[in-house]
Amino acid sequence: MEKDTTLHYRPAYRKRLENYQSRNVEVEEKVMGLGNRMEKVQEEKPFTLEDALQEAFNMIKENNERLLEMRKS
């Protein structure tokens, strides 16, 4: 039996870090009205577990960077 180590998590961490660094930081403004609500339903892609994990990783990374900045000042 293989022993669980942090080495097994390294490839996933690297992939999430690359996604975090290559993400689009610009906030996309979406104006919703009665006329375009049907279009909105069609263009949404399903929210997967992978998306949720990446979102959580991004939030943790951003919070860690903020904490480091607070410690420096």
For residue 71, what pLDDT band results from cuts at 50, 70 and 90?
very high
- Residue found by looking up tokens 């900045």 in the block: 69
Answer whether residue 36 shows pLDDT above 80: no
Between the alpha carbon of residue 41 and those of residues 36, 37, 38, 46, 61, the distances in Å are 9, 7, 5, 11, 31
Query: How do residues 2-14 score in pLDDT, each as one tens digit?
Result: 566 667 788 888 9
Predicted TM-score of the model (pTM): 0.58
What integer pLDDT is reported at residue 66 of this predicted model?
A: 96
The ranges assigned to domains in the chain are 46-73
Mean pLDDT in the chain?
80
Answer whether residue 42 shows pLDDT above 90: no
45 CB-contact burial (10 Å; exposed 0-12 / middle 13-18 / buried 19+) = exposed
